Chain A
Amino acid sequence: MSCVYEDDVIARLLDGDVTQADQADLEAHVRTCAACRRTLARSRHLDAAVATSSTHATDAETADRLLTQVIARATPPVVAGRSLQRRGILYAAAAGFVVGLLAMYVFGRRTPMPDAAAPRDVSVAAPPADSPPAWRDPEMLLLPDDVGRPASAPQDLLTPNDDLRGLGASRGALGAPTRLDVRRCVALLEDPELSQACALQANARAFAFGWPRPTRAVIVSAITATRIAAGRVLIDASSPAALLALARCAAADDDVAPALVAAASAHRAFRQRLRAALHDTCDASLCTLAVRLGDPDLDRRAVARVRREPALAERVAAACAAPLCDVDRTGFLLDLWAELSRSGDDGSSPDDPDRAAAWFTALPKSATAALTQTLLNARNVEVRERVFLALAARADIAALAPLLAFVEAPSVSIAHLAAYALSRLPASAAPRLEDAARTSRRPELIWAALASQGGAPMQARLLAAGLPAEAVALLTAGDLRPPQIAAVASLLRGRNLVLVSKP
């Protein structure tokens, strides 16, 4: 049952949008029309229910919290309508100063100095009125890096947008950033295009000051600065999403990672959150971030996480190769290696030269000294074995002296491993190895190391020493493993290669 006037009647009666006379007529109609009566009752009920439903959506505590946070953030700009003006004046002055510097730099480089008496206009011409806005100009991203302006000069004004800048400035007073801040910053870190848009927006603002087009290098640095600023906000945030975004950015963005890791490493609460996350969450980027911080406790958590998820090992080890902290990472890598070998989950043997090559080759130069020290201090045979393999992988001539010393060690197996590490040294170590062979108690091991380096002269000496040609070809093929070095040494035992080479 329906009435052709239904909607109109209901709307006017509900809204009170009728004259007194019309209201009487409408009410008379409603009394006689069941459809309108029913719809009117249902509509009134509906409006009341919508109002009630909305009342339940709010609570005073939430409202106060939201407003307090907002006012705390907004007060500096609001306190001054004047401060905005002051900031505008500062920006304009800074922009003028930078533009002046740039113009002087350009003129100084590209044009002869004009007559000192002649007036010189150092201001940069404003862009033509019909030119497209800078941030929409596709050419802007294709500019060569060098257009005669120092890239660092405008960077100060191109760095993060006002929101991030303001947030960074007021963080101390406000404590943790709001969930909204976190979401924005997570989005900035996770989406490079969004970072770019944000940086270009800042760039557009700078363009409004009348600058010429900035260089690509400046734009890129602005994007990086935007991401760093977002990351610094996230370091203060307590949400798991913030932590993950930060860790993933630190793992993937080499431009941003050093600044973020430096900021994070000084932040105690951040490390506590990271510790908890390492325990609760299986994410490779969390582990890689943890090991980059060089914190012993975080290292232990990372090892525990890798023990549960051995597949993470290679990424964690690779993270140690990125020199983002001053703390030596060889100890951590040796511990991790030992843990994996103990658990046996990774399917590798304890003396795995391939693992040593993958983990230790890319470490910074100081790692050789750290490994040598570990070798001297180690009492555990397995630790020593791994250190020898690591030193062999690094092939650093700085380890020559301690390795020669270990060739003379009472333990034959240790001496074999030292010879193996010696065999990996570069050819420049050969003269010192030969000298050492003349005085060594185990010259055959040093000759074996030299033999594995190959080369025609060494082949000739081995043949002259009475070894069969087939064996010589095999021995000098290079890339011998520790057991093979031991076998070569046994072949060479008692043969005087010194006399053969220097009659």
Chain B
Amino acid sequence: MPDFTAPQAPSTEERVALAAARAGDPAALHALLRRHVGPLLALARRCSRGDRHRAEDLTQETLLAACRGLDGFRGEASVRTWLFRILIRLSADPVRVHGRQVPASCMEPSQIPDGVGAEPVQGSLARELRERIDEAMERLPSRQRTALHLRAAEGMGYEAIAAVLGVREGAARMLVLAARRTVRERLGSYLEDAP
């Protein structure tokens, strides 16, 4: 069972690093943000529908916005929740991140080819399952996709998910529920047969 007790406020260590970073200490800023870059990249990848370059851009943009907005961070949520919230806000602004290109994430979910229809082959690799999971996740509406990712991959509580998405806790719960149901249906027998 994953640990769903995501911290709701910065830890003492984070507060110290935060104060030093605000005073202009680059090392403290690095220490404060480093542990969150991986999760940010993972979420950015979900938001970018698997586009690695776009995910890196989005992550970088998020970190830059966070650096510039350190003074505005009130410490009511954890640093990670705050960073995720920035990333979600930026990912909803494709022009800012991608210039005039139309990002893949602007595609309607129905436009994304469905590669999940085929029956799995016995003994298929775990990698194939991951690919099917990624495909199924990509076809989810963005909020459901984000909510399920935060719940399953980051182990965040519904309150924190709600804070990231800017919705009520009940709505966050429903988003995760709907996302699980949809992905389960799309994956068909993969979830039983895969290792």
CB within 8 Å of B: which residues of A?
7, 10-11, 15-16, 39, 41-43, 45-58, 60, 62-64, 66-71, 73-75, 77-82, 178-180, 183-184, 186-188, 190-191, 194
Contacts and interface: CB of A to CB of B under 8 A. Distances in A.
Contacts of B143: none
B148 A50 contact: yes
A73 B130 CA distance: 35
Interface string B36-57: 0111011001100000010111
B24 A80 contact: yes
Contact of A57 (B1, B41, B184): B41
Contacts, number: 162
Contacts of B37: 58, 63-64, 66-67
Interface string B174-188: 001100110110010
Contacts of A80: 24
A54 B4 contact: no
Interface in B45-84: 45-46, 53, 55-57, 59-61, 63-64, 67-68, 70-71
B41 A71 contact: no
Contacts of B71: 81
B67 A180 contact: no
B24 A7 contact: no
A53 B133 contact: yes
8 contacts: A15-B4, A41-B192, A50-B137, A50-B153, A54-B149, A62-B41, A74-B63, A75-B26
B81 to A, nearest CB: 17
The list of the 10 closest CB pairs from A to B, nearest first, reads: A187-B99, A74-B67, A79-B24, A54-B153, A63-B37, A58-B38, A50-B152, A47-B152, A54-B42, A70-B63
Interface stretch (B9-17, B27-35, B109-117): B27-35
Residue of B41, B99, B126 most packed against chain A (CB within 10 A): B99
A46 B56 contact: no
Contact of B42 (A45, A58, A64, A77): A58
Nearest to A77: B68
A50 B152 CA distance: 6
Contact of A71 (B23, B29, B56): B29
B86 to A, nearest CB: 12
Given A43-B180, A77-B68, A180-B57, A63 B34 contact: yes
A49 B57 CA distance: 25
Nearest to A60: B38
Contacts of A15: 4, 158
Contacts of B55: 57
Contacts of A63: 34, 37-38, 41
B173 interface: yes
A179 B56 contact: yes
Given A54-B46, A183-B57, 5 more contacts: A11-B173, A66-B41, A70-B33, A78-B67, A82-B24
A63 B33 CA distance: 10
Interface class of chain B by DSSP: helix
B152 A71 contact: no
B63 A49 contact: no
B26 A69 contact: no
Contacts of A51: 2, 152-153
A345 B85 CA distance: 60
A328 to B, nearest CB: 38
Contacts of B30: 67-68, 71
B38 A179 contact: no
Nearest to A63: B37
A73 B2 CA distance: 37
A49 B190 CA distance: 11
Interface of B: 1-2, 4, 21-24, 26, 29-30, 33-34, 37-39, 41-42, 45-46, 53, 55-57, 59-61, 63-64, 67-68, 70-71, 95, 97-101, 126, 129-130, 133-134, 137, 148-149, 151-154, 158, 173, 176-177, 180-181, 183-184, 187, 191-192, 194
Contact of A81 (B24, B61, B126, B181): B24
Contacts of B181: 7
B176 to A, nearest CB: 8
A58 B151 CA distance: 18
A479 to B, nearest CB: 49
A230 to B, nearest CB: 11
A466 B39 CA distance: 98
Contacts of A39: 184
Contacts of A75: 24, 26, 29, 67
B130 A56 contact: yes
B66 to A, nearest CB: 9
Contacts of A45: 191-192, 194
Contacts of A68: 30
Contacts of B133: 46, 49-50, 53
Contacts of B70: 78
B61 A67 contact: no
B42 A180 contact: no
Contacts of B180: 10-11, 43, 46-47
A67 B63 contact: yes
A179 B59 CA distance: 12
B177 A11 contact: yes
Contacts of B151: 47
A53 B57 contact: no
A62 B40 CA distance: 12
Contacts of B33: 67, 70-71
B63 A66 contact: yes
Contacts of A50: 133, 137, 148-149, 152-153, 183
Contacts of A10: 180
Contact of B100 (A48, A82, A194): A194
Given A46-B152, A49-B133, A187-B99, A58 B57 contact: no
B50 to A, nearest CB: 9
B166 to A, nearest CB: 21
B56 A62 contact: yes
B33 to A, nearest CB: 6
A281 B158 CA distance: 52
A178 B173 CA distance: 38
A7 B29 contact: no
Nearest to B62: A70
Contacts of B26: 71, 75, 78-79
